[in-house]
Amino acid sequence: MGKGYRKWFVKSGVVPTEFEKKMMEYERRGYLVPPRKLIKTAEQIEGIRLSGLVNTGVLDLIEKEIKIGMSTEEIDKLVYDYTVSHGAIPAPLNYEGFPKSVCTSINEVVCHGIPNPKTILKEGDIINVDVSTILNGYYSDASRMFCLGKVSPEKQRLVDVTKECLKIGMEAAKPYGFVGDIGFAIEQHARKNGYSVVRDLTGHGVGLAFHEEPEVCHFGKPHTGMMLVPGMVFTIEPMINMGKCAVIFSQKDGWTVTTRDGLPSAQWEHTFVMTEEGLEILTY
C-alpha cells in the first residue's frame, strides 16, 4: 500500500505534481502513504458529495418518521422508496447477499441488523440506522442513533458518549496525520467513560466502492497506520459497547453482530473527505 510512487513516476516518465513530490518524500522517509488510487479527484469528490446529500435526506426522513410500534421492515421500505425516487440505489441491497436496503441494529445488536416485519420498535429501545447510497456510481455512508420514547439513563449516556467519540475522532484526524490518531482518541474517550470499543469492525475508505482502503480502526496508537492526506474519502463510525468489547457474528443469517455479553451498543457514522484544511463532512 502506497509503495512505489517514485518507481511509478520514473517508469511512466510523467512529471509529478508538487503534491506527488510530497508523497514521494513521505514514502522515502518510511511513512505508509495511500496508494494513488485512493486520492480522489475534485470531480469524484463532488460525485460523492451529491451521493451524500441523498444519504443525508434518507436519514432525515427516518428521523421524522421513526416511532414506537414501527417495524424495521417499514424503515427499510422508507429507505428504499426515498433512495430510488432520488435516482439512487441503496448500497446494502444484495451486497454480498445482504437482503435489505438498510441496517437496523437495536440495543445489543452492534451492526448489520436485518430489517424484519416481526421486529417492532418498543419503548426504551435504542436503534442505529445505517444508510449507504450509490448515486451515479459514487458511494456515501452514514448512520445515526435514535432513542424510542423514554430510554434508560444508562442507554442515553451510551448514545451521547458514542456521538462524542465520533466528534473526538473527527478532531483527531488532521491532514498528514495518521489513521492511528483517530482510533487512539476515540478509545481514550470511550474508556474514560467506562465503555469499550468494538475491535472486530472498522471504518473504511469509501467513494468509488462501498469499502476501500484504509481500514479506520476505532482504537490504536498515535502516529501509526496510513497517512491521512488531502483527497482521501473515508468513514469514521465508532461502535461503543456498554460492557465488554467482544461480539458475536450470527451463524444463522451471516450478518447480524451482537455484543457477547448482551449489553447495549451504539454507533454514529459520517463520510469525510480530507482537505488541506482538515476534514469536510460529506454525510450527516
Helix locations, the chain, DSSP H: 5-12, 18-28, 42-65, 72-85, 153-172, 179-192
Q: How many domains does the chain have?
A: 1
What would the pLDDT profile of 161-220 be if each residue is shown by its tens digit?
999 999 999 999 999 999 999 999 999 999 999 999 999 999 999 999 999 999 999 999
Would you say residue 28 lies in a domain?
Answer: no
Would you say residue 52 lies in a domain?
Answer: yes
Would you say residue 13 lies in a domain?
Answer: no
Q: Pick 161 or 5 by higher pLDDT.
A: 161
Would you say residue 27 lies in a domain?
Answer: no
Averaged pLDDT, 81-87:
98
Cell of 235: 468513514
Q: Pick 22 or 119 by higher pLDDT.
A: 119
Asked if residue 6 has pLDDT above 80, the reply is no
Q: How far apart are CA 227 and CA 21, in angstroms?
A: 15
Nearest Cα to 90, choosing from 146, 42, 129? 129
What is Dmax (Cα atoms) for the chain? 64
CATH number at residue 118: 3.90.230.10
Domain that residue 126 falls in: 39-281
Query: How much is the pLDDT for 2?
Result: 44
Would you say residue 71 lies in a domain?
Answer: yes
Window from 16-25, 51-60, 138-147, 216-225 with minimum mean pLDDT: 16-25
Query: How much is the pLDDT for 7?
Result: 64
Asked if residue 83 has pLDDT above 70, the reply is yes
Would you say residue 16 lies in a domain?
Answer: no
Amino acid present at 133: T
Averaged pLDDT, 223-244:
98
CA distances from 22 to 50, 98, 265 (A): 30, 41, 41
What would the pLDDT profile of 113-137 be if each residue is shown by its tens digit?
999 999 999 999 999 999 999 999 9
Q: How far apart are CA 15 and CA 274, in angstroms?
A: 24
Q: Measured on CA atoms in the order 250, 255, 258, 260, is the torsion positive or negative?
A: positive
Would you say residue 85 lies in a domain?
Answer: yes
User: Which residue, chain included where needed, has cell 434508560?
Assistant: 152
Cell of 122: 418498543
Nearest Cα to 122, choosing from 142, 160, 152? 152
Mean per-residue pLDDT of the chain: 95
DSSP code string of 89-120? EETTTTGGG--SSSEEEETTEEE-PPP-TT-B
In this structure, the dihedral spanned by the alpha carbons of residues 248, 261, 271 and 113, taken in order and rounded to 10 degrees, is: 60
Region of 168 (left: φ > 0; alpha: ψ -120 to 50; beta: rest) is: alpha
Q: Give the up-direction half-sphere exposure of residue 105: CA atoms within 13 A in the CB hemisphere.
A: 27
Asked if residue 210 lies in contact with residue 233, where contact means CB atoms within 8 angstroms, the answer is no
Cell of 24: 514521494
Confidence grade of residue 230 (pLDDT, cut at 50, 70, 90): very high
Query: How much is the pLDDT for 1?
Result: 38
Would you say residue 5 lies in a domain?
Answer: no
